[in-house]
Amino acid sequence: MEIDPFIFRFSIFILSIFIGYYVVWSVTPSLHTPLMSVTNAISSVIIVGAIIAALAGSSNNIFDTSNIFGFLAIILAAVNIFGGFLVTQRMLQMYKKKKNKIK
Amino acid sequence: MISSNLSAIFYLISGILFILALRGLSSPDTSRQGNYFGILGMIIAITVTFLSVGNFSTTIIYVFLSLVIGGAIGAFIAFKIPMTAMPELVAGFHSLVGLAAVFVAIAAFLNPEAFNLGSPGNIKFASLVEMSIGAAVGAITFSGSIIAFLKLRGIMSGSPITFIGQHYINLILGITIFVLIFYLCKLQFESLYWTLIAISFLIGILLIIPIGGADMPVVISMLNSYSGWAAAGIGFTLENTALIITGALVGSSGAILSYIMCKAMNRSFISVILGGFGEENSSSDTKNKKDQKPVKSGNAEDAAFLMKNASSVIIVPGYGMAVAQAQHALREMVDKLKKNDIKVTYAIHPVAGRMPGHMNVLLAEANVPYDEVFELEDINNDFANTDVAFVIGANDVTNPAAKNDSESPIFGMPVLDVEKCKSVLFVKRSLSPGYAGIDNELFYKDNTLMLFADAKKMTEDIVKNLD
């Protein structure tokens, strides 16, 4: 009997949890705030689903309910993607070592 | 239009880039590069999605328009937000992820053909379960984060809101969710789907309102985790590897942070969730004690004198520093001390502030080099051979009651051994207890000098007196 593709995705899911576990434990505590903002940004990859929903159907029914939800989700996810990555970048720029102390 | 196999490989690549983005955060040196990996992963995922849908009709203009609107709002916020407001920003962002997950799940339910999930009223069983879970977790994340946001922002009181039977209501609502998902899979009624989402919103609110201000680091981490699980749920629906990988990463990341925060407070995750911590206002008993015990208080001049004659100083920042925005003044003070050849380091408790790593970011903003900033375990032994501890806006995390008073609600929580210093300077607005609502015996020790003032104002005054 063939294996259900769900099982493959489920395997990816479980293995990723393990990867996440080990990777996140190695994150230095002083960077926990950037960790949260960057995880925020990457979880907005949900925009993929939003784009599919928004682009579905032909051009004469752009504003079906499901498309509208797609557009709204794109806006929300885009706020997060841009906001999340940029604010992370802004924070990370501030972490400096003693040597590079300028002012 | 590219084949679905090819796009699956690209989604895998973007998933790997996201792993590298988190991996980069293991040290500040590699972190910036990590962030670029993350951005690259996102660009790949979005581009591949456009190519694989392959619909380049006029609709795409509206998609780009939505992207630009959202992106502009996000960029604006990212550049404008003050660092002290990071906790509420992160909570706000979590709510957006949650709501986006709900919207995508709704779109998938209304138009399953677009996602290859079957036809309306005849959606594949597994997809229905996945999208229901994604929508429910997303809705809980959304409303929970909104409450957390309001509490952190101070729009809503930080004290826990509890009522009788609260946990039973949550339990009943939780069971209702499962019943609804069961019937939704059988009957596929649209109304059941909307009810499911509405109840999930309600659960999110009820889950967070009983949790007090001091537990916010756990709440934020927990919502971070939820936003990941919601994304993963949607990832299963869309059969998208990038989303599944990312959701799992973010979910476990948030769970680990919650665990670290709980451990730093010596509280079990369950007791945080059940809430109510911090509502026990100092009983009349402790109030009486307060009146009787003498407190030594001083001014900026005394503090400057003490520190000038010290050879080593440890700074212990807390939430009060963030509220007063005192980090820049603090850094100025430290510069002056260093000019006098005084060794200055910073000690940070894991739950100082309102989110994990909150204090580190604020100090970094004030140009404090990160190799002068130490975590609890790394610095706690140094207090014994340090002359002055300068506690600014922290309270509960220094309370010796956690070590020697088994009656204390914070007993067992790891604390900074501030009292071992030769003298302790305590910048605080008043003698009021911290968020945990517990009196701090440190205030009444002989070697403690209380500096009653706003943290920023006091630090600035000390700077003047150091000249």
B328-365 tens-digit pLDDT: 999 989 988 888 888 899 999 988 888 888 899 999 98
Chain B environment of A79 (Cβ under 8 Å): 70-71, 73-74, 77, 93, 96
Cβ separation of B231 and A52 shorter than 8 Å?
A: no
**Residue tagged 């880039």 (tokens):** B17
For B221-239, the pLDDT digits (tens) are: 999 999 999 999 999 998 8
CA B61 – CA B55 distance, rounded (Å): 11
CB B14 within 8 A of CB B242: yes
A interface test, pick of B1, B23, B42, B99 with most A CB neighbours within 10 Å: B42
Query: What residues 259-288 of chain B have any CB closer than 8 A to a CB of chain A?
Result: 260
CA B117 – CA B401 distance, rounded (Å): 58
Concatenating the DSSP letter of every residue in A65-90 gives HHHHHHHHHHHHHHHHHHHHHHHHHH
Nearest to B228 among A39, A66, A84 (CB): A39
The dihedral formed by the CA atoms of B264, B270, B272 and B278, expressed in degrees to the nearest 10: -110
For B383-409, the pLDDT digits (tens) are: 888 888 999 888 888 888 888 877 777
CB B426 within 8 A of CB B449: yes
Query: What residues 324-353 of chain B have any CB closer than 8 A to a CB of chain A?
Result: 348, 350
CB B366 within 8 A of CB B321: no
Closest CA to B233 of B249, B247, B252: B247
Closest CA to A39 of B415, B97, B109, B287: B97
For B119-177, the pLDDT digits (tens) are: 887 888 888 999 999 999 999 999 999 999 998 888 887 777 877 778 888 889 989 99
Judged by average pLDDT, the poorest of A58-62, B56-60, B234-238 is A58-62
Closest CA to B426 of B446, B444, B445, B450: B450
Nearest to B63 among A37, A55, A64 (CB): A55
Greater confidence (B248 vs B167) lies with: B248
In chain B, the residue whose alpha carbon lies closest to the alpha carbon of A99 is B369
Q: For chain B, what is the mean pLDDT? A: 86
CA B227 – CA B222 distance, rounded (Å): 9
CA A56 – CA B53 distance, rounded (Å): 8
In chain A, the residue whose alpha carbon lies closest to the alpha carbon of B347 is A30
Cβ separation of B115 and A34 shorter than 8 Å?
A: no
* Confidence (pTM): 0.89
Task: Pull the structure tokens for residue A76.
Answer: 């929300």
Chain A environment of B249 (Cβ under 8 Å): 16, 19-20, 23-24, 39, 42
Percent pLDDT > 90 in chain B is 38
Chain B environment of A44 (Cβ under 8 Å): 42, 96-97, 100
Q: Three-class SS of residue A2? A: coil
B31 near A CB under 8 A? yes
CB B398 within 8 A of CB B414: no
Q: Three-class SS of residue B337? A: helix
Which residues lie closer than 8 Å to B142 by C-beta, 6 or more apart? B95, B98, B99, B102, B201, B204
Task: Pull the structure tokens for residue B409.
Answer: 């609600």
Is residue B429's pLDDT more than 50? yes
**Separation of CA B367 from chain center:** 22
| CA angle B126–B127–B129, rounded 5-degree value | 65
CA dihedral (B321, B324, B325, B328) positive or negative = negative
Is residue B243's pLDDT more than 60? yes
Chain A environment of B77 (Cβ under 8 Å): 79, 83, 87
B58 near A CB under 8 A? yes
B425 near A CB under 8 A? no
CA B46 – CA B11 distance, rounded (Å): 9
CA B2 – CA B360 distance, rounded (Å): 45
Is residue B302's pLDDT more than 50? yes
Chain B environment of A19 (Cβ under 8 Å): 19, 248-249
Percent pLDDT > 70 in chain B is 94
Nearest to A27 among B22, B107, B234 (CB): B22
Q: Which residues of B70-104 are buried (b: 16+ CB within 10 A; e: fewer)?
A: bbebbbebbeebebbebbbbbbbbbbbbbbbbbbb
**What pLDDT, on a 0 to 100 scale, did the predictor assign at position B282?**
38
Which residues lie closer than 8 Å to B94 by C-beta, 6 or more apart? A40, B141, B145, B148, B220, B223, B224, B226, B227
In chain B, the residue whose alpha carbon lies closest to the alpha carbon of A69 is B103
**What pLDDT, on a 0 to 100 scale, did the predictor assign at position B106?**
93
Local structure of residue B390 (DSSP, 8 states): E
Cβ separation of B364 and A91 shorter than 8 Å?
A: yes
